Structure 1
Amino acid sequence: MGSIFTIIDMLPAYGLLCYLLVAICIVIAFRAMIRIEGERRRLRVAVVAMLAGSAFVALLAYATYAIAAPYAQPDMVDFYRTYQPVVPLFLTGLFCVQAVSGVAAATGWRRGR
């Protein structure tokens, strides 16, 4: 029974780590797309789809943080309340990095290097 509470205690942190992993994978995919020669329209569609999926995962990560944090143990609740104002900034910052990488991939910017 104690393991269930451990999962609930760490669920907000797991959500943020999951989005960090998604962001890293998407940025790596966009970096690989920069080198692709071909139809830019298809690349733009792929970039928009990946950014839409990433935004959805970011919303899920924030919802997990907001919903599960109050149910954690008291010491963890204080920890999560301390960092609650920073979480949207963290998620938005990661999304902005992905968006810049996506624009670079869709436009072919830096392909010559």
Structure 2
Amino acid sequence: VYYAPALLQKAGATQALEALMILAAVLRAARCLFPCQDGSVESTATVRIDALKVLTPSTIAQRKEWYVSRIGNCDAEVVGEFLNEGVCVAAPLDLDLLCQRFISQYEALETVTTF
């Protein structure tokens, strides 16, 4: 995952766990696009997360719709919208757990501030 360290740096200490949850979602989506096969044991896929590296995990979770789009035999990138150009193969990022985590944190904060 290209730019993974940049995503973690942007998240900082306060959202490091959430950044790791995003990276896990990217890896799961990439595995759908690049499945394990006997003939590809020695191949490596590169997934670029340029679109994510400049955002905090909370901002990424707000958008909710992200995709890993295959752009070559061994290349993919994260995009914010699904593009139907030509033969585009993409897998959605499953960010449900991340969104639930931020909702729970917001509700907990709201409960504390109302007392």
* TM-score w.r.t. length of structure 2: 0.34
Specify the structure having the higher radius of gyration (Cα): 1
The higher-RCO structure (CA 8 Å, 6+ apart) is: 1
Flag the structure with higher strand content.
Answer: 2
